[in-house]
A and B are shown apart, each in its own frame.
Chain A
Amino acid sequence: MKFLTRLRNFFSTTSQKSKEKLSSQIIPEERISRYVLDKNHYSKEKKCLRTAAFIPAKDGKKSVYRTDNCSEDEIWDIGEKYVAGLTEKKIPLLARGDLSASTIFKEDLKIECNGIPHFRHANIIDWKSGAAMRMQAATLAQESNLILCPSNTSK
């Protein structure tokens, strides 16, 4: 029990520290992560995210997290608790795509930090429409690094 308490305190302190470090201004080098819960949105064989993983729904927002200065465990923990954990059917977290904020800015997109449901949460906004939007999404997918979720490596 002592160990668990110490572990909890450690993560709580780490999380607080990283909150302090998170600026309201997103710098181009900052890492942005998109969590993937649909097996159809990435290819394990081709080691890539599909364009569909970045196509926004009709509300014109793509939900992402600012994951700079987070450890791998922290990144997956955010995905498990604040993305997969909040789905009605408890859909498992399968993977994530990491890319730099500069890739997003180069496509004339903006990143809007809203801090809900987690202080690291943001939305990619200002998407174009039709084929131009498809091109933006394809570029983000192309520039992303696919990382499979360690707890779902068989999928």
Chain B
Amino acid sequence: METLRNSVSPESGKLRDWLKRIHDARGATISAGLRQKLKDEILDVYSERRIAGWDGYNADPITNEFCGAAIKFVDLLPQCIAEPDVVAEPTGRIGFEWVVGRYKRLSISAANSSIEYAMIIGSRKRFGEEPFFDEIPNEIEKLLLDHFSKI
């Protein structure tokens, strides 16, 4: 960090800001109010879609496993992240989605031990799967802080 603080190039300045945001956000999760709101939405999505075909087609029921993983994800969401929408998926998973305007979108869904994500920013696309245990994977945390932060 010391080397970065003393450096002067715009790139290193950006990197320093990003590291500071990560540092500040680490350990500090979203406010209790927002966390509770998201958990309430997860439970609503779960309780309203426990029967197959809830989407009018052939969706699978939302399962306990994915409901639990979604709650764990909310508990670990870093501070200063914009509020996501909680979404029921036809595979029985619960997803989180951030949409900003027409060209910025991030879709995430957590399972017991992994997280899937897909992001579109203009013509750039990124997707992948990361292991998910006791913290949000660095790759996903960086995407959230870089593109879907309230600050």
| Chain A contact residues, CB within 8 Å of chain B | 35, 37-38, 40-41, 43, 46, 48, 50-52, 55-59, 63, 83-84, 87-88, 91, 130-132, 134-135, 137-139, 141-142
Q: Bound complex: CA of A134 vs CA of B57, how far in Å?
A: 19
Q: Bound complex: CA of A46 vs CA of B105, how far in Å?
A: 12
Minimum C-beta distance from A112 to chain B (A): 16
Whether the pair A51, B125 counts as a contact (CB closer than 8 A) is no
Given that A50-B97, A52-B89, A138-B107 are known contacts, is A57 also in contact with B117, CB under 8 Å in the complex? no
Q: Which of B9-17, B31-39, B48-56, B67-75 contacts the other chain?
A: B48-56
Minimum C-beta distance from A66 to chain B (A): 17
Chain B interface, >50% SS class: strand
Given that A38-B54, A58-B60, A63-B57 are known contacts, is A134 also in contact with B87, CB under 8 Å in the complex? no
Please name all residues of chain B whose beta carbon is closer than 8 Å to the beta carbon of A91 when the two chains form the complex.
56
From A38, A43, A48, A137, contact of B88 by CB (8 A):
A38
Please name all residues of chain B whose beta carbon is closer than 8 Å to the beta carbon of A84 when the two chains form the complex.
56
Please name all residues of chain B whose beta carbon is closer than 8 Å to the beta carbon of A130 when the two chains form the complex.
116, 129
Interface size of B by CB at 8 A reads: 32
Q: Bound complex: CA of A137 vs CA of B57, how far in Å?
A: 16
| Chain B contact residues, CB within 8 Å of chain A | 45, 53-60, 85, 87-91, 95, 97, 99, 102-103, 105, 107, 109, 116-120, 125, 127-129
Please name the residue on chain A nearest to B88 by beta carbon: A40
From B60, B109, B125, contact of A57 by CB (8 A):
B60
Which of B90, B127, B129 has the largest number of chain A CB atoms within 10 A? B90
Q: Bound complex: CA of A43 vs CA of B109, how far in Å?
A: 18
Please name the residue on chain B nearest to A139 by beta carbon: B120
Please name all residues of chain B whose beta carbon is closer than 8 Å to the beta carbon of A131 when the two chains form the complex.
116-118, 127-129
Whether the pair B54, A134 counts as a contact (CB closer than 8 A) is no
Please name all residues of chain B whose beta carbon is closer than 8 Å to the beta carbon of A138 when the two chains form the complex.
105, 107, 118-120
Please name the residue on chain A nearest to B89 by beta carbon: A52
Please name all residues of chain A whose beta carbon is closer than 8 Å to the beta carbon of B125 when the two chains form the complex.
135, 139
Whether the pair B91, A57 counts as a contact (CB closer than 8 A) is yes
Q: Bound complex: CA of A46 vs CA of B83, how far in Å?
A: 13
What are 26 inter-chain pairs, A to B, with CB distance below 8 A? A35-B56, A38-B54, A38-B55, A38-B88, A41-B88, A43-B99, A46-B99, A48-B99, A50-B95, A51-B105, A51-B107, A51-B118, A52-B87, A55-B89, A56-B90, A57-B57, A57-B90, A88-B53, A130-B129, A131-B116, A131-B118, A131-B127, A134-B117, A135-B118, A135-B127, A141-B105
